Chains A and B, each alone.
Chain A
Amino acid sequence: MNARLVFSVVLAVLVLAAVSVAQAQDPPELPAGLRDPTGKPKDQPDLPKGLGGDSAPGLPAGLDKGGEPKPPVGIDEAGKKDNGKPKPAKDHGLFGTLERWDISGFWDIRGGFRTQPDRNEDDESLGETRLQLEWEKTFGHVTFRYIGDFLYDPVDDRRGSVDLVRGTGWFDLRELWGRFSPAEFMDVKVGRQALTWGTGDLLFLNDLFPKDWRSFFVGRDLEYLKAPADAVKISLFSEAVNVDVVYMPRFNPSRFIAGRRLSYYSPALGARAGQNAIIRTDLPNEWFDDSEWAARASRKVGRYELAAYGHWGYWKTPEGFNPFRGRATYPRLSVYGASVRGPVGRGIANLEAAFYDSRQDRSGGNPLVRNGEVRLLGGYETDLPELAPELTVAVQYYVEVMQDYSAYHRALAPGAKAADRTRHVVTGRVTRKLLNQDLTLGVFGYYSPSDADAYLRPNAKYKIDDHWTAELGANVFFGKDPHTFFAQFGRNSNVYAALRYAF
C-alpha cells in the first residue's frame, strides 16, 4: 500500500466529513474527485469523488497540483485499468450456482379455462407448469445457445410422447444452435432457432417461419407464438444490400389448431369440431427431400428499411386435404413479397405486400387445396403523450385477396360455405405502462368487417420484483357464422392467469 493511497483514504474521510456538513446546505456537493481544497461557498454543490475537492482546512500546500483536479479518492492511480465488472452477486444458493454456470431461465405456472362450455373440449384450456433452462456460451469464435422447456400439463392428453416438431409432450426444445462468422461480411447460425422477419404486428405476410397458434390462443407468453425451426441461416452483409438465406432441411410446420385442445370449424362436418374430429395430417417430414428455403434482401435508405422476400416451401398449416387417406395435407407454396418501414410523422409506419403462389392449385379450381392469394398490410404506431404518458397505440389494415375466385366458387362442394373473395382485417393495439413500468396493461384486437368476426387479447402484466411476474389475460372470439376465421374459435374464448419466477 503506498502513501498516495493512504493519503487518498484520509482525504476521502475528510471529504466525507466535509460533505456531511455541506449536505445541510442547499447546493449540490461536488462529487468525489472534483473537490477542491478551498472552502466551499454555501450555495454550491460539493465536488464529486474524483475531482479532488474537500473543504477541510489545513491540508498541506502543494497537494493541489497546479490547478489540476485532485486524484479521485480511492481511485487515484491514473491510467490504472478499470476492469470493474460489477461483482457477482454474493448468492451461493441454487440461483447463484446457476448464474456462475451461465444458466438462466424461469419457472412458470399458468392456468386458464373456457368462459363457455364446448361440448367437444375440456373446460380447462390450460393448466401447465414449465421450467425453462437457458445456457449460452461463447467458445473462441463460436457462440452456442440452448433453451429447453420441461413442462407438465394435465390438460394435454399426449404429455407422455415428446414430438419436437409438432410440439407435444413433456419436453420442448426451443433453441439449440451455434453461430459464427466465417468471414467479416458473413454470419452463419446453424441449428434449432426462432426466426422472424417482416413488418406486421401479429400479422404475417412474408414471415413463413413456423408459429404456434395453440400457444397464442390459450394464453402462453408471447414468446411461444414462434415455434422453433431447424435451419441454417446464412447472412451476407454489404454496403449495397444485406442478404439472408435460410435453409430448412426438413419442413417446419406451424403448431396449428387440430381439435385436441381448441375447437375449430370443420367444413366436412359443417360445424365446429374438436376432440370428436381431431385433424390428422400427412406431414412432409423427409430430411432434405421435404426442405424449405427462404430469403430476404434488405437495406436501409435514409431512415427507411426496405426488404424483398421469398419463401419456397409449404403452407405452414394444413391447407389441403387428401380424400383417399382422409388426412389434411400441406400443399406446396411459394411466396414473394416486399416491405418498407420507417418514421412518418412522429410514429412508425409500415407497408408490406406478399403474393402467395399455391403451387398445387395454380388454376384455383382444386377444392382440396387452398387458392393462392395476395396479401397487403399497412400499419402505424405512435405514442400519445397528450392523452397519457407511456401510452402507445397502433393500427393495421390487412387484406387477403383470393386468386381465381370464380374457379374456387365453381369447384366448391355443394352446401359448403364459401369464403369471401376478399378478407379485410383491422387490428388495434393499445398499451399503457403504469407504476414505473411495473404494470403493463394492453389490449390487441383483430376485427374483420368482411367476416363480421373479431378476436380480442386483453392482458395485464405486473412485475412484482426483479424475479416474479404475475399475469392475467383473456382470449375472446366474436362472430356469428361459425365458419369465419375468428368466429370458428368462439367456443375457445378463455381467461388465464400466470405466475413466473425468472432467474
Chain B
Amino acid sequence: MKTSRAFPAGLAALVVVFASALPAAEEAPTAKAPTVEQIVDSANHVAYYQGADGRARVKMTITDAQKRTREREMTILRWDEPAPKDKDKGKDAPAKKDQKFNGRQKFYVYFHKPADVSKMAFLVHKQLKGDDDRWMYLPKLDLVKRIAGSEKRTSFVGSDFFYEDVSGRNVNDDKHELVQDTDQYYVLKNTPVDPAKVEFAYYKTWIHKKTFLVIKNEYYDRNDKPYRTYQVSAVKEIQGYWTVTKARMSDQAAGRYTDVEYSDVKYDTNMDEDLFTERYLRQPPKEHISD
C-alpha cells in the first residue's frame, strides 16, 4: 500500500499538535538498526500523525532583525484519516491507532490574535498527492474564500515557518541518506528530488533515536552554507505522546526568528471529521476552541 509520508521538514506550528514520539517503552531501540526509510517514516509519523486527532493552542512570537516582535495566537485542530482495517497487517496490527499509517489529514486553524485577524478561520484538507485544499473564513464579510494552495514554501501568517513546515513536507519530495549515527541521533541529509521547486540545496535533520522526534533541521544553500534552522527547545510527554512544546525557526540571512509555543495540547479527543467543513468554518466549534 502506498502512503504519502510527509516528512517533518521544519515542523512547526500545526505540528505541535502532532509532534510527539512513540511511547518509549514500546519503541525502545532494538538491536536491529532501522533502515533510512523506517527512520523517515517514524519521524514523519511522530511529527505529524500522533494520536487519532489533536489540538493545541499555538503562540508564535516573530522577532525581526531590529528585535521588534509580533505575536500570533491560534488554536489548531487536526484530524487524521483512520487506518484501513488491519488489511494485510495480520497479527502485527496494533490494537489502537496504526502507529505507522500516515494518511490524509485535515487541519482547522482559528485565529485569536492579532486583532486584525481575530476570529478568522482557516481550513486545510491535506491531499496525499498534489495541492492541498484550503479555505479561509472572513467573519465580517461572512465570506468563505477558497485559496489556491500550490505555493508551499512561503511564510505561514508572516512567521518564519512555511506552510510546508506546518502541514508537513511530502517525504517523497526528498532523497534521504543517513549521514551520521550518534548516541542520540540519526542524522539525515535530505536532498530535493526537484531542486527547482525549493529554495534549499539540501537540509540535515537530527532525529532523536528513542522518540523519533525531530530536534533540529538545518537548511543549506547551494554554497553549503546553512541559512535557516529549526530547533526544538522543549518537549513533553502528553497522553503518552512525546510532544514538542517549544521550538524556534531562525532565518539567519534575515536575522529573524519565530518562537513557537504549544499549550493546551490534547490528543485523541474524538473529534468528528465534520468539524472540518464549511459549517464549522462559519461557526467555530467552541468546545474545541478556548477563548
Contact = CB atoms under 8 A, between A and B. Distances in A.
Interface of A: 27-34, 36, 38, 40-41, 43-51, 53, 67-69, 71-72, 75, 78-79, 82-86, 102, 104, 106, 136, 138, 143, 147, 174, 179, 187, 193-196, 222-223, 225-226, 235, 237, 242, 298, 303, 305, 341, 343, 346-348, 381-383, 385, 389-390, 392, 436-438, 463, 465-467, 469, 502-503
Interface string B238-268: 1100101111000000001000010111000
Interface stretch (B46-54, B64-72, B77-85, B168-176): B64-72
30 contacts: A29-B215, A29-B233, A30-B184, A31-B235, A33-B242, A34-B215, A41-B183, A45-B184, A45-B231, A47-B208, A48-B246, A49-B234, A50-B235, A67-B28, A68-B24, A75-B245, A78-B237, A84-B264, A193-B142, A226-B142, A385-B151, A385-B154, A389-B151, A390-B154, A436-B62, A436-B64, A463-B116, A465-B68, A465-B70, A466-B115
Interface in B130-158: 131, 133, 138-144, 146-148, 150-151, 154-155, 157-158
A487 to B, nearest CB: 28
A169 B85 CA distance: 63
A102 B235 contact: no
Contact of A348 (B139, B148, B157, B215): B148
Interface string B81-121: 00000000000000000000000000000000111101100
Please give me the 8 A-B residue pairs with the lowest Cβ-Cβ distance, nearest first.
Answer: A28-B216, A84-B263, A50-B235, A502-B115, A49-B234, A346-B150, A437-B158, A31-B232
Contacts of B71: 466
B35 interface: no
Select the residue from B59, B113, B140 with max chain A CB neighbours within 10 A: B140
Contact of B141 (A79, A222, A385): A222
A235 B279 contact: yes
Nearest to A390: B154
Given A43-B180, A348-B148, A31 B244 contact: yes
A383 B150 contact: yes
Select the residue from B115, B216, B246, B256 with max chain A CB neighbours within 10 A: B115
Contacts of A30: 184, 208, 215
Given A226-B142, A392-B148, A437 B245 contact: no
A48 B133 contact: no
A33 B148 contact: no
A346 B28 CA distance: 43
B25 interface: yes
B228 interface: no
B288 interface: no
Given A195-B142, A466-B71, A51 B114 contact: no
A392 B136 CA distance: 15
Interface of B: 24-25, 28-29, 57, 59, 62, 64, 68, 70-71, 73, 113-116, 118-119, 125, 131, 133, 138-144, 146-148, 150-151, 154-155, 157-158, 180, 182-185, 187, 206, 208, 210-211, 213, 215-216, 218, 229, 231-239, 242, 244-247, 256, 261, 263-265, 274, 278-279, 283, 286, 290-291
Select the residue from B141, B143, B215 with max chain A CB neighbours within 10 A: B215
A147 B133 CA distance: 31
A432 to B, nearest CB: 12
A129 to B, nearest CB: 18
A72 B234 contact: yes
B180 A436 contact: no
Given A31-B244, A381-B148, A463-B116, A82 B265 contact: yes
Contacts of B64: 436
A48 B151 contact: no
A467 B141 CA distance: 21
A385 B115 contact: no
